[in-house]
Amino acid sequence: MVCNSGVGLTPLINGRRHHFSAGGLYNGLVLLIDDETRSYWDHITGKALHGPMAGARMPTWGVQLTTVGHALERAPDLLLFRSRQTMTARVLSWFLSRPFVRNTMPPGFRKTMGAPDHRLPEMEIGLGVVAPDCQRFYPKVDIATGIEDHWQGRRLHIRINPSDDVPYAVFTDGHRPFQLFTRWYGFAYSFPACSIYPAGPHRPVH
């Protein structure tokens, strides 16, 4: 995922299964829309923002991003399921992904976005760790040699997996908190009260 922000969502609301697709953009992030009520949902928090289901929330769970090569190293018989895309969809996907490769916004994204959080450059990539009453962003450049952080009375280890270059967070007991390998702008819009590691002055905006 060039833009990152991969989250697991369980599409059950009040015991009923819903079906989702991309419905638009808000703050430069995809909004989901469900077929059953045509409500719009935040794909990171799982919360319905507009429509008949506004205020409802889907269960969310963390997704550990990796590469196909690393996945096959761990499970050589792994099956890969890939959706069939039309040529139009493939061209559109390529067109939208290229700016992210260059750390810029695709056409039209900026018009959906509110005032930016200037504490970090908007395209800064890092690991966001989320708890109900605390969210923190760890810039990837600061994770290179590893980070030991105190998280709500527990010791949290932040590392980069050398096999796929993807950061992850794990507590001393092996439990992994909800986490996102994402860009700063997406995390800051989703969790505006978040803190940044380390505390104190941060790099200037590029």
Indicate the domain borders of the chain.
115-196
pLDDT of res. 72: 84
Would you state the structure tokens that stand for residue 175, as one six-digit string?
């439990």
- For residue 49, give the 3-state DSSP assignment: strand
pLDDT at 190: 92
Q: Which of 60-64, 126-130, 140-144, 146-150 has the lowest mean pLDDT?
A: 60-64
Convert the pLDDT of each residue in 186-199 to its tens digit: 999 999 999 999 86
Of 38, 30, 75, the C-alpha closest to 54 is 38
Does residue 106 carry a pLDDT above 90?
no
What pLDDT, in 10s, does the model give residues 108-126?
Answer: 788 889 999 999 999 999 9
Q: Count CB atoms within 10 A of the CB of residue 134.
A: 14
pLDDT at 171: 96
Mean pLDDT, the chain, integer: 86
Instruction: Give the mean pLDDT of 91-115.
Output: 75
Largest CA distance in the chain: 51
In this prediction, residue 204 has a pLDDT band, given cuts at 50, 70 and 90, of: very low
SS3 193: coil
117 exposed, middle or buried (CB, 10 Å; 0-12, 13-18, 19+)? Answer: middle
Taken in order 90, 166, 40, 192, is the CA torsion positive or negative? negative
* Amino acid symbol at 84: R
Task: State yes or no: pLDDT of 93 exceeds 80.
Answer: no
- Please give the structure tokens belonging to residue 14: 């009040």
Instruction: Give which of 169, 165, 79 is closest to 129, Cα–Cα.
Output: 169
